[in-house]
Amino acid sequence: MYATRETADPREDGAVLVLGELYDPSEWNFPEFKAKWVWWLSCRRHYPLEAYRGWGHLFQSEYARLLFEKIGLSGFMLTDHIRPDFFESPPAPSSKKDLIIFSGSRSALNVLRLKLTEPRLRLMPLRGLGAPQIVRRMDEAKIYLDMGLHTGRDRLPREAALRGCLVVMPRQGAAAGPADVPIPDEYRWPAGRVAGLGDFLRRLLKEYDERVRDFSGYRDWIGNQRAAFQKEVRHFSEVCRDVRPPAVSPAEKILPQLDAQVLELEESLGRLKRESADLAVRVENVLMLMPLKVRLAALLNAAVGRLRRPR
């Protein structure tokens, strides 16, 4: 698809290294590199800031750029774009079903909570699928529901909008504002809230034909991303030739801001924890209502499984 060239040996004299944020920077400090850049495709940090001393920073989302700016790290925007498959003529609205698709892993917990209260909504995950299967599933659905953390400018909402889905996003992370997700504000749902969501989704399904027009601006914005990305890459290539990346700010200066960032993450994690506890209680209540024979069968299966397990 992207017809790129490969190298088995990354240690190339005078080359510029561009590393995704999931990699450990301390493993890439080869003297051969002229410059090293970390590309924050998600704003979740996995390694201490100190490990990026002397590295430049590239931000895939405005959310990440602002978050890192708060702790004294500046750099350049380097976004991405959606592959051409998703731009091919979208399906006719009449061919859509009353189906809601959701990001299979990051929304799983909250969608499970929703399913428990709204068993009649048709909710289908996008999980473990390649691009052609994702396109097919999006073409059937009227709504793409996302209840994840949004630590960057995610692809699925953009892809779904191109395939004619209404996009419902959580009001948190990169999805909270128009810089990274320019959809009408009414489609941003309070993060982690399930109460009232079923009614909202039913209304969207019913009014799909009119509401799909609400996303024409978002689709246009997505359509312009390839050109924007090309411009960013040109700028980046020029910057790399002339300028060495700035050093990381001294830790003493960034501690208060760093503390604020940690607190923000703590809040997110705390909310997830509360949601998990809530889910556990609900699942327990459902299990209590299960017929006795189903519970006995489950216990029997578990006992057989234990007996068969090798010692």
Partner 1 sequence: MENSKTFIIPVPGDSLTGGPEALHQLAREINDLPDCQAFIHYTGRKDPRVAE
Instruction: Answer yes or no whether residue 78 interacts with partner 1 by CB under 8 A.
Output: yes
Contact, 282 vs 113, CB < 8 A?
yes
How far apart, in whole angstroms, are the C-alpha atoms of residue 67 and residue 40?
11
Q: 49 or 240: whose CB is closer to partner 1?
A: 240
Instruction: Answer yes or no whether residue 6 interacts with partner 1 by CB under 8 A.
Output: yes
Q: Which stretch binds partner 1 (CB under 8 A): 5-13, 62-70, 109-117, 290-298?
A: 5-13
From the CB of 176, what's the least distance to partner 1, in Å? 19
Sign of CA dihedral 180, 181, 184, 188: negative
Instruction: Answer yes or no whether residue 39 interacts with partner 1 by CB under 8 A.
Output: yes
Q: 6 or 252: whose CB is closer to partner 1?
A: 6
Q: Kind and range of the H or E element at 48? A: none
Q: Which two tokens stand for residue 121?
A: 């909504």
How far apart, in whole angstroms, are the C-alpha atoms of residue 124 and residue 59?
31
Q: Kind and range of the H or E element at 37? A: strand 35-40
Nearest to 51 by CA among 77, 29, 73, 33: 29
- Pick one of 46, 83, 253, 295: the residue that binds partner 1 (CB under 8 A): 83
Q: 18 or 109: whose CB is closer to partner 1?
A: 18
Determine the residue type at 92: A
Q: 28 or 87: whose CB is closer to partner 1?
A: 28
Binding positions for partner 1, rule: CB under 8 A: 1-10, 12-20, 22-23, 28, 33-34, 39, 41-42, 60, 78, 80-81, 83, 130-131, 154-155, 229-230, 233-234, 237, 240-241
